Structure 1
Amino acid sequence: MIAKKVLLVGNFGVGKTSLIRRFVFNEFSEDYISTIGVRVSSKIVRLDGVQIKLLIWDVAGIKDDEKVPKAYFLGASAALYVFDLSREETYLNIKNQVEMIKELSGLSTITVVGNKKDLLTADEINILKKTIEIPVDMITSAKENDQVEDAFNILAKQSLK
């Protein structure tokens, strides 16, 4: 078995912790509990016959003007940038945020995930995807368990590259 450090990053309140709880424990809670610093969870996944222990770093939500400790990003094999489909401020500066994470982590690819799909219609999501300045790799809902496992499988695949 191999272990891989992977990151979930993005603004506060976008659902990073909810995605992790859904993936690791198959649980969802409406209660919002702010992550302070970083919280690490793990789950073993099997991908192409290989067992991978994902060490999932839930990095506290950030704002554009905040500095995140570089140590959180060191040694990461992959990262998901999560934004809230229903809150414009979480994706307005998404290109700069993703570039900053690439710089801090040394990763060349960051998977971009729009979360809280359950709060919008399919038409609203399609319009929104056209307004975001970078490609969105996946649309998820932690609440409805929609494409959560797929997002972490992408993360696991990225970690092996």
Structure 2
Amino acid sequence: MADLERIRLVLLGGAGVGKSSIVKRFLFKSYTDKYRATVEDLYNREYDLGGVTLKVDILDTSGDMQFPAMRRLSIATAHAFMLVYATTSAPSFQCVKQCFEEIREQRADFQDIPIVIAGNKADLATTHREVRQEEVTDWVFCELPRLRAKVVECSAKEDTNVTELFKTLLSLSRFLPASSSSVGPGGPGAASVEPAPSGFKRRSSAYVSASSSRNKNRMNSPSVSGDKKSSLVDAVDVASTSAEAKLKPRSRSLIRRASRKTKQQINNASDDCNLQ
């Protein structure tokens, strides 16, 4: 029986930079020019890495930053980040910098977390570029502490380097060798990271309780599940665990106490700045 590993990838960035387009291009091979603001979408997918089954949770977050408590929890529970900006928008790069500062403030282990900085809309860069890749690279490798990070420009519209983004995250997470040259069937040298037969699922919220996750791991779930909303109380068990792939069970009394503490912290927290 293959070993199981789990990683949660969180996408952060300003509104309209193409976070959802990147995810949908990668998962569904689809693209639309119509813009729909995202509140929060969670996608689950499994990959066969040759003897190891990797379960990936892809959390697509809101770009308008109107939900600071949700964003703080997503940062606290992430194993990897994709910070997305648009090559055609200098303010979107400033937003990425602010997102990184939030990660640095909340995560003491930020230097060990895999981070890909994705410059989307590269197809428009020849005529409307406002952010040079060299500028982003200098910021990451010259101004910041040593990170497990990489800068990749992509185009969700033209499907350029979208797969490379996720392959890079797996390499930084040490699930794939850095020399891997492709993701998908027929790639030379690298293990296949095509989805396992269970397929993918989409949920409206990332805040699923640990007990629910354990039950779903034991059962065969349908290829596509319906939307399901859950409260912040259900997330306490997930938020309180360390950034490990496996979750440990906790007693109900601990969950209740952690739930009350989380609510008090959220009530006392000040609203974060809106990033457009």
- Give distance in 1, aligned partners of 2:93 and 2:69: 18
- Give distance in 2, aligned partners of 1:68 and 1:112: 23
Deviation at 1:16, TM superposition (A): 0.4
Query: Secondary structure of 2:167's partner?
Result: helix
- CA distances 1:92-147 after superposition (whole Å, capped 9, x unpaired): 3543331212433553242211001011129x58x712334623610010111111
- Alignment-mate amino acid for residue 114 of structure 1: G
User: Rg larger in 1 or in 2?
Assistant: 2
Per the alignment, residue 21 of structure 2 pairs with 18
Q: Using structure 2 for the length normalisation, give the TM-score.
A: 0.50
Match of 2:116 among 105, 111, 114: 111
Query: Secondary structure of 2:110's partner?
Result: coil
Per the alignment, residue 58 of structure 1 pairs with 60
Q: Using structure 1 for the length normalisation, give the TM-score.
A: 0.82
Identical aligned residues as a percent: 26
Per the alignment, residue 134 of structure 1 pairs with 139
Deviation at 1:48, TM superposition (A): 6.5
Deviation at 1:42, TM superposition (A): 2.0
Gaps of 5+ in 2: 141-149, 176-276
Q: Are the structure 2 counterparts of residues 62 and 104 from structure 1 closer, same or farther at C-alpha, using a change threshold of 3 Å? A: farther
- CA distances 1:56-101 after superposition (whole Å, capped 9, x unpaired): 00011045x9835321222211011000111111013543331212
Please say if residues 6 and 56 of structure 2, whose CA atoms lie closer than 8 Å, have aligned partners that are also in contact: yes
Larger mean CA deviation between 17-26 and 86-95 belongs to 86-95
Specify which structure has the bigger relative contact order, considering alpha-carbon pairs within 8 angstroms and separated by 6 or more residues.
1
- Alignment-mate amino acid for residue 131 of structure 1: E
Query: Secondary structure of 1:142's partner?
Result: coil
Query: Secondary structure of 2:77's partner?
Result: coil
Query: Secondary structure of 2:117's partner?
Result: strand
Query: Secondary structure of 1:103's partner?
Result: helix
- Alignment-mate amino acid for residue 90 of structure 1: S
Query: Secondary structure of 1:5's partner?
Result: strand
Query: Secondary structure of 1:114's partner?
Result: strand
Per the alignment, residue 179 of structure 2 pairs with none
Q: Are the structure 2 counterparts of residues 45 and 68 from structure 1 closer, same or farther at C-alpha, using a change threshold of 3 Å? A: same
Query: Secondary structure of 1:134's partner?
Result: helix
Gaps of 5+ in 1: none
Q: Are the structure 2 counterparts of residues 35 and 139 from structure 1 closer, same or farther at C-alpha, using a change threshold of 3 Å? A: same
Per the alignment, residue 100 of structure 2 pairs with 98
Per the alignment, residue 164 of structure 2 pairs with 150
- Give distance in 2, aligned partners of 1:74 and 1:5: 11
- Alignment-mate amino acid for residue 135 of structure 2: T
- Give distance in 2, aligned partners of 1:2 and 1:93: 31
Higher strand share: 1
- Give distance in 2, aligned partners of 1:88 and 1:82: 12
